[in-house]
Amino acid sequence: MKIGISTACLYPMLTEKALEEVGKSGIKDVEIFFNSTGELEKDFVSQLKTIKDNFGLNIISVHPTFSLAESFVFFSAYDRRKDEGLEVFKRYGEITAELGAKYVILHGGKPNGILSDRQYFDRFGEIAAAVKLNGGTLLQENVVKFRANDLGFLKKMCDYLGEGADICLDVKQSIRGGYSPFDAVKLLRGNIKHIHLSDNSPDKDCEIPFNGTFDMIGFLEYAEKYGYKGNCIVEVYRDAYNDYSDLFSSVERLRKEYGNAEKIT
């Protein structure tokens, strides 16, 4: 299991600058969080690829800037808007191929959506097919205040779509949703393909590694116990740390301590 970092940790730094800062830190495994529609342009993606190549980065996943609009675009009854959205996600599929990434993250629909569960799952399948045209894999993230915050809903999705239900488990979103990420791992098992990792404490639900009380090493070992074979990307908000050096050193410490735990076990 590789441990990396998301450029989202440096938001609102410009995406390309954030990728450069990650490259300078020496951390190699990265998720790129896109923050504007202009960043989907070919010249901009070429710029990201140049940074990636210069620092020898491994881009694992991309996170669309589309998140806040996904419920309105994809999970309503208006097919023309949905079809337009599919074209955007085809582009994200192309970007994953250009950057050598594999995953595209989806927040999905809001709880008050008009689609039934099965209609939602089928719609997810349509978006996944658009991403897959260029070899990418769509992941449903468990985001609070979205429909996929509910573990029962995600389990139904996995049962209905089988291997077609690929999940990104976000630890801080699990904490905000009121359930244990350990329980999520046990319930969803092989459908989890990607993890967004963060620490937390009783006073704060999103911390950089080792600034909280969450058993991060224990969680990673537990995920492996239940068959997790993907990567873990540290994704925290800017208010979770003071200096960039604090962020990067915490990720490096996590990588080292997890590596040592692997050797011990």
Evaluate whether residue 56 is within a structural domain.
yes
Q: Quick one: pLDDT at residue 261?
A: 65
The pTM of the full predicted model, rounded to 2 decimals, is 0.95
Evaluate whether residue 2 is within a structural domain.
no
Q: Quick one: pLDDT at residue 262?
A: 57
Looking at the structure of the chain, the number of domains it has is 1
Tell me how far apart the alpha carbons of residues 119 and 125 are, in angstroms, rounded to a whole number. 10
Q: 48: domain range? A: 7-264
What digits encode the pLDDT tens for the residues 52-84? 999 999 999 999 998 889 999 999 999 999 999
Evaluate whether residue 202 is within a structural domain.
yes
Evaluate whether residue 192 is within a structural domain.
yes
Q: What DSSP element (H or E) covers 201?
A: strand 199-201
Q: What is the mean pLDDT of residues 152-157?
A: 98
Tell me how far apart the alpha carbons of residues 113 and 126 are, in angstroms, rounded to a whole number. 17
Helix (H, G, I), strand (E, B) or coil at 75: coil
Share of the chain above pLDDT 90, in %: 95
Helix (H, G, I), strand (E, B) or coil at 163: helix
What digits encode the pLDDT tens for the residues 198-249? 999 999 999 999 999 999 999 999 999 999 999 999 999 999 999 999 999 9
Tell me: pLDDT of 131 over 70. Answer: yes
Tell me: pLDDT of 17 over 60. Answer: yes
Q: What are phi and psi of 205, to 5 degrees?
A: -90, 0
CATH number, domain with residue 28: 3.20.20.150
Evaluate whether residue 1 is within a structural domain.
no
- Residue 221 CA, chain-centre distance (Å), reads 19
Q: Quick one: pLDDT at residue 231?
A: 95
Evaluate whether residue 191 is within a structural domain.
yes
